[in-house]
């Protein structure tokens, strides 16, 4: 609940007379390296995001006043991701102090540290090169998969229940699961605009800085490997692609999407970036398989609690 607070304000029913108290809740303090959150920098942030293309669909200035939720009108129909994320806010609003914040549900980090001053944008993801503060995104509320899953049913609340987990284990016992690392998803080229920041990446002495940040089709590459030299260890299939990508790769064969619960047929599940981070990781961790995660610059809010080679409980 506390993750959605950016600015504590005094109780008031008249939005034009908010009294402001600068404080970042403790759960956000480690991420909010830019210091106290103020009414001024929340206002500056609202102005900054309006310079981004499609901001009306992915960003919202939100206030919780006496348990009610107020949104600044934009004149544009609210996007599905934004509406889904605000469900959590609505559920906990009665137990949250009066707050004002700017929320982003876009699947990309926005406030580059080299271009923006420190501003408290609550986002679905971030990187070491951005000021964005990661908070829970729409993953928790989706009832169907995204474009990669072509509308396959999803129920995150059900999947994390003990009863469902036992049923999954009974249906797909570990000893019967296949050995090849499995992936199904759309053919997106990862943005990778800041891959040079990865501590695991070696120095590139022969490539110019701007070339390091070029996008790369990881998923297509893995699909090719799974039909070639790594066919014994990989089972990677692409479920679709944007039209311009299909035109560039006319020989590419596409396969049907696989519902996430059926991923449990496989012992090893690949988590690969999409255009930015893929929000599928949390769902894959519920399938009782070993998740092999691509090294990535992107971070969702729970990544800080993950430890490589340690089983998630």
- What band does 312 get if pLDDT is binned at 50, 70 and 90? low
Same domain, 131 and 169: no
Residue 231, domain member (yes or no)? yes
Same domain, 270 and 186: yes
User: Higher model confidence: residue 79 or residue 72?
Assistant: 72
Same domain, 282 and 155: yes
Residue 307, domain member (yes or no)? no
Identify the domain boundary among 140, 156, 187. 140
For tokens 């570990």, the residue is 174
Long-range residue pairs from 155-164, CB within 8 A, at least 24 positions apart, any chain: 156/282, 156/283, 156/286, 159/260, 159/261, 159/283, 159/286, 160/286
Q: What is the largest CA-CA distance in the chain?
A: 66
Contact at 8 Å (CB) between 188 and 276? no
Residue 311, domain member (yes or no)? no
Task: Report the b/e string of 174-208 with b at 16+ CB within 10 A.
Answer: eeebeebbbbbbbbbbbbbbbbeeeeeeeeeeeee
Same domain, 167 and 254: yes
**Residue 140 clears pLDDT 60, i.e. is over it:** yes
Same domain, 277 and 167: yes
Q: Reduced to 3 states, what is the DSSP secondary structure of residue 104?
A: strand
User: What domain range is 284 assigned to?
Assistant: 148-296
pLDDT of residue 263: 95
Residue 208, domain member (yes or no)? yes
**Is the four-CA dihedral 199, 200, 203, 209 of positive or negative sign?**
negative
Strands 121-123 and 133-134: parallel
pLDDT of residue 206: 61
Same domain, 251 and 207: yes
Verdict on whether the full-model pTM lies above 0.85: no
Residue 21, domain member (yes or no)? yes
pLDDT digits (tens, 9 = 90+) for 253-281: 899 989 889 999 999 999 988 877 888 88
Neighbours of 78 (CB within 10 A): 14
pLDDT of residue 21: 27
Cα–Cα distance measured from residue 297 to residue 277, given in angstroms and rounded to the nearest whole number: 8
- What band does 200 get if pLDDT is binned at 50, 70 and 90? low
Same domain, 136 and 81: yes
Same domain, 116 and 252: no
Residue 273, domain member (yes or no)? yes
Same domain, 72 and 21: yes
Measured distance between the N- and C-terminal CA atoms of the chain, rounded to whole angstroms: 21
Burial class (CB in 10 A: 0-12, 13-18, 19+), 56: middle
User: Higher model confidence: residue 79 or residue 108?
Assistant: 108
Residue 177, domain member (yes or no)? yes
Beta bridge partners of 9: 20
Identify the domain boundary among 107, 140, 173. 140
Same domain, 130 and 174: no
**Average pLDDT of every residue of the chain:** 76
pLDDT digits (tens, 9 = 90+) for 16-51: 333 322 333 334 444 445 556 677 777 888 888 887
Same domain, 10 and 133: yes
Same domain, 163 and 255: yes
pLDDT digits (tens, 9 = 90+) for 203-248: 666 655 555 555 667 888 899 999 999 999 999 999 988 888 888 8
User: Higher model confidence: residue 99 or residue 213?
Assistant: 99
């Amino acid at each position: 609940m506390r993750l959605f607070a950016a600015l504590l304000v005094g109780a008031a029913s008249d939005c034009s007379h908010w009294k402001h108290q600068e404080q970042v809740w403790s759960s956000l303090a480690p991420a909010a390296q830019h210091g106290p959150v103020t009414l001024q920098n929340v206002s500056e942030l609202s102005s900054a995001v309006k310079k981004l293309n499609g901001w009306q669909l992915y960003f919202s200035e939100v206030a919780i006043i006496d348990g009610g939720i107020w949104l600044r009108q934009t004149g544009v129909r609210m996007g599905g991701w934004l509406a889904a994320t605000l469900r959590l806010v609505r559920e906990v609003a009665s137990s949250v102090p009066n707050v004002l914040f700017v929320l982003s549900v876009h699947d990309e980090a926005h406030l580059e540290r080299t271009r923006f001053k420190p501003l408290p944008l609550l986002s679905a993801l971030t990187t070491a090169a951005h000021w964005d503060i990661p908070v829970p995104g729409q993953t928790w509320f989706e009832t169907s998969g995204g474009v990669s899953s072509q509308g396959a049913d999803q129920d995150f609340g059900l999947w994390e229940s003990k009863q469902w987990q036992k049923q999954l284990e009974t249906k797909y016992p570990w000893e019967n699961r296949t050995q090849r690392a499995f992936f199904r998803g759309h053919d997106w080229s990862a943005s990778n605009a800041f891959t040079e920041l990865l501590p695991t990446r070696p120095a590139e002495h022969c490539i110019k800085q701007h070339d390091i940040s070029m996008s790369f089709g990881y998923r297509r590459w893995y699909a090719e490997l799974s039909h070639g030299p790594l066919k014994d260890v990989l089972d990677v299939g692409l479920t679709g692609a944007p039209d311009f990508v299909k035109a560039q790769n006319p020989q590419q064969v596409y396969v049907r999407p696989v519902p996430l619960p059926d991923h449990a047929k496989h012992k090893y599940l690949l988590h690969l970036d999409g255009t930015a981070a893929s929000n599928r990781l949390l769902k894959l961790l519920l399938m009782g398989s070993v998740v092999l995660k691509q090294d990535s610059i992107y971070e969702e809010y729970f990544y800080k609690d993950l430890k490589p080679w340690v089983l998630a409980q």
